[in-house]
Amino acid sequence: MNSIATINKLPENEVPTVKAAQSVGSSLNGKKHPKDQHFPKGLLPDNRTRYFGFYLVMSALVVLFFLLDIMYGTVSIPMKEVIHSLTGDSVQKESWDFIIQEFRLPKALTAIIAGAGLALSGLLMQTLFRNPLAGPFVLGISNGASLGVAILVMAGSVLLQPLLDMGEWGVVLAAVSGSALVLLLVLLVSMKVKDSISLLIVGMMVGSATGAIVSVLQYFSDAELIQAYLIWTFGSLAGVSWEQLQILGFTTLLGLLLTFFVQKQLNTFLLGEQYARGLGISIKRYRIIVIVATCLLAGSITAFCGPVAFVGLAVPHIARATLQTSNHQVLIPSVILIGAALMLGCDMIAQLPGRQDTLPINAVTAMLGSPVVIWVVIRSRTMKSSI
């Protein structure tokens, strides 16, 4: 535990390097390293104040976007009436209360859960693989869910007819089944391989294989079935009912708890797996925990909302660039708040207030996420300095 605590005293504004590892290692051996003075004793008071201020601002922004997301849409509802509906008071028009309670409120809550979960899973994958381009779907979880839905929609037979009769729940179960199969394969591989790079390659190959199967199914399917599948791949926050929202919230909470359980060990991953082993960290154990947490977060969100891209890739970079730290005790709550605010903002843009049309949420997140990643590359000059 002392070694883990020492690792978590890494500088708030520097990325761990080999020299940093050597410095920490020398302090663990009881020898003072010449550069030990560069390592603050935990979170400095001024940094704590800055982080607390950031959390406060982002929390207020999430609440503001939450209310605005409920206000605007095909029918604009005054803020006062929105607050009355949320607090249980009488609303001027019953239709407004019905729209809020049955459509906009669950959609806004889904946006918060999806944004926070995808952002957190993206942070986990970037840390595990020490790769700035890693996202929540790098292990093939999204591809597995897509394969399950593709088989159900485009290759449905008598055996799958019960799932087809279940409507939206059938699609969710198909996506969960596909994600679970990929998760099982990844977990089996993670027990065999010694390094995370091999696991990353396996995940990419699984994603390519499932994508190829989906392409074959599309080639032999009718246009109507292909269209139904493509609509699902666009992603949507509006199709989640209150019953589904409870399940989504529960699985996301489990993933969040697992992440908080390993937040200290995540900092050691930044120093490399060999050094972490030297500190007595069980790489396989914590790698499995990270994978399960990511699959709970990304898999459940994909099952209920479809594959939503770029949030998990962009948000961790925004948090690092804003707070200038690689400490996961700071980054975890940061990405949760930023991800929730970003997804709410994307949902507001997708709604096209005052119009009947709704943009695919995937298109909006990609339009906002791509410039962010480009900005991080230009600002950091090299992607390695962002992790």
Rounded-to-10 torsion of CA 129, 201, 257, 48 = 20
What pLDDT score does 38 carry? Answer: 36
- Cβ-contact 198, 191 below 8 angstroms: no
What pLDDT score does 157 carry? Answer: 57
User: Distance between CA 148 and CA 144 in Å, rounded?
Assistant: 6
- Cβ-contact 237, 73 below 8 angstroms: no
What pLDDT score does 283 carry? Answer: 78
What pLDDT score does 17 carry? Answer: 40
Whether the pTM exceeds 0.75: the reply is yes
What pLDDT score does 223 carry? Answer: 87
Task: Please spell the DSSP secondary structure of 167-179, one letter per residue.
Answer: THHHHHHHHHHHH
Q: How far apart are the two ends of the chain, measured CA to CA in Å?
A: 24
User: Distance between CA 228 and CA 198 in Å, rounded?
Assistant: 35
Domains of the chain: 43-386 (1.10.3470.10)
Question: Please, how many CA atoms are within 13 Å of residue 69, restricted to the half-sphere of its CB?
Answer: 29
What pLDDT score does 101 carry? Answer: 92
- Cβ-contact 119, 338 below 8 angstroms: yes
- Cβ-contact 145, 176 below 8 angstroms: yes
What pLDDT score does 54 carry? Answer: 93
List per-block mean pLDDT (blocks of 10 residues) for the chain, which spans 387 residues.
45 40 40 38 61 94 95 87 90 90 94 95 90 83 86 70 69 84 83 78 86 88 86 87 90 93 86 75 84 89 88 90 88 95 92 74 86 72 54
- Cβ-contact 151, 181 below 8 angstroms: no
